Structure formats: C-alpha cells, structure tokens
Amino acid sequence: MDNPTVLILCTGNSCRSHLAEGILRAAAGDLLTVASAGSKPAGYVHPHAIRVMREIGIDISGHASKSMNDFLTAKVETVITVCGKADQACPRFPGQVHRHHWPFDDPAHATGSEEEQLTVFRRVRDEIRRTFEAYADGRRDALQAAAH
C-alpha cells in the first residue's frame, strides 16, 4: 500500500511550502509521501530557505518550485495551505480527504540586512517546524491507535 500523499501549497512555492515539505518529510517520511507546490510558482527555492533548513540538518537544495496544476491528476489525501492566497486558489484534488489551512508569515518579504532577513526565515522555520512536527506526531498516533 502506498503512503498517503500530503501536498503543501503556497503561492510562490519558494519558501514556506518548502520549509514545511522538508520538515514534514523528515518527521513523517516513513508514513507519508510529502510534496509542495504553488498556485503561481516563483521558479526557484529561496536561498535563505535552503540555508536555514541546512542549519537544522535538513537539505532542501534539491527541491524545485512546482505548480499545483502538476498534481491535479495525482491522488492527494491531504492538502495543507501555508499562506492565505493559496487557500483561496486551491482546487480540490482527486481522492482528497483532508484540507488544512495553517498560514505563516512570508519570510521572502523580510527586509533589512542579510542577518535580519535570516532571523525572519529562522522564526518562520521554527513556527512551521512546531506545527508540522506536531502534525506528524498526530498522524503517527492515529496509525498506532488504528492498529490496536
């Protein structure tokens, strides 16, 4: 049996959705297939997102910015939007059972020095990490409860 697919959506698929994808894959990659996409993909993964994830031991340097349209024929069990605009633009996917909307600030809009921008990226990464690790724990607990 294939693992359920969780699709994390954002507008640009350059920062927040990649942070969440990397964190959820690290926390629940044995239980879930995790992907991310955007309603209007930026075409790149933000270098600061790659850097702050490397700081916590997660490599997202191989990620690519993708369109949510790439997943319209995929069997997506859960869609999680991490910004307001993606929630509004989000279609229903074949087989979709769950939908969650957990908005986070967009660190790509951070201003100031590089260090000030990285501080914002780290704060958003840590907020996403708390949320998605708790989600992974909940999925794991539900599977264990169903097995007993």
Which of 6, 7, 9, 10 is flagged as catalytic?
10
Smallest CA-to-CA distance from 43 within 11, 6, 4 is with 11
Which of 26, 50, 52, 83 is flagged as catalytic?
83
**For this structure, is 15 an active site residue?**
no
Which of 32, 45, 86, 90 is flagged as catalytic?
90
**For this structure, is 90 an active site residue?**
yes
Cα 73 to Cα 38, 69, 91, 110, 148, distances in angstroms: 16, 8, 12, 35, 34
- DSSP H helical ranges for 9-148: 16-28, 47-54, 84-89, 114-147
Residues designated catalytic: 10, 83, 90
